[in-house]
Amino acid sequence: MLTANQHSVRDTERLEVDSKQLSGLNANDIKTMIDVVYQLQHMDSDALGLQLLINVESLLEIRDSALGVFNRECGRCEYVIATMREEHLPDLNSITYSPVDSMPFLYFLDDDYIVIIGDHDRSEVSFLCLHSNRALLQERHKKIFMFILPHLLSGVSRLHLISKQFQESGLTTREQEVLQWIIKGKDNWTISKILGISERTIKFHTSNIYKKIGVSSKAEAICRHHSFMESLNSLSAA
């Protein structure tokens, strides 16, 4: 086993990698893969999820993609992060199981789309949809793909649970955006510049957020979120 240091984020964080997974890949591919996986293990916002999806597209040399959670009982997407336009997202109800080579969770809709489903025996499943001809998935792409796939699927499940927590608290879409920046330690002025709205409006949203999630300060909101994330990580590790 090879051990890859996550030196770009924390020297104490390490990722175990099977050397066979890395054979034939160049140093830049390996570094990018490991960086992406580390961030996937810690992503906690839609904005970060979208950026990571773009990084994955670059690694796999594909045009666009979508990552989300699909409810098979009601036949609709519960949560989606996508670079592809919504109307281009294929009908996930029409998926037919078609394993390929050593990649047992590949589901092909047609020659233009590849859909991968995780935990396919559950009613709510994580999925990754790639707009790419299957012929483009060469050996190099397969290695990259299989290395990051489990982390993509578990990462989007975590984002879905965070989103559900926000929704259950009654937060509006804008309040969720503000809270995500509060959690990252940004002050009102910085958040106002990021979101393109006035600082007074940020204060208004912040006041509503505190009431809805039952806290009285930014520090308490951050602690509440970190506690929730720790509980999600504990569930993932179980």
pLDDT digits (tens, 9 = 90+) for 133-142: 665 667 778 7
User: Hey, what domains does the chain have and what are their CATH numbers?
Assistant: 2-166 (3.30.450.80), 169-237 (1.10.10.10)
pLDDT digits (tens, 9 = 90+) for 189-215: 999 999 999 999 999 999 999 998 888
> What is residue 21's predicted lDDT score, i.e. its pLDDT?
64
Q: Is the pLDDT of residue 25 over 90?
A: no
Please answer whether residues 229 and 183 qualify as being in contact, where contact means their C-beta atoms are separated by less than 8 angstroms.
no
Integer-rounded Cα radius of gyration of the chain? 19
Tokens 């998926």 belong to which residue? 95
Mean pLDDT of 29-33: 82
Q: CA 69, CA 59: separation in Å to the nearest integer?
A: 22
> What is residue 104's predicted lDDT score, i.e. its pLDDT?
60
> What is residue 120's predicted lDDT score, i.e. its pLDDT?
64
Arithmetic mean of pLDDT over the chain: 78
Q: Is the pLDDT of residue 13 over 50?
A: no
104 or 187, which is more confident: 187
Closest CA to 126 of 14, 236, 29: 236
Beta strand extents in 39-143 (DSSP E only)? 64-71, 76-82, 96-97, 106-108, 113-117, 124-131
Please answer whether residues 89 and 64 qualify as being in contact, where contact means their C-beta atoms are separated by less than 8 angstroms.
no
pLDDT digits (tens, 9 = 90+) for 48-68: 788 888 888 888 888 788 999
Q: What is the percentage of the chain residues whose pLDDT exceeds 90? A: 11
**Residue 232 structure tokens:** 């999600």
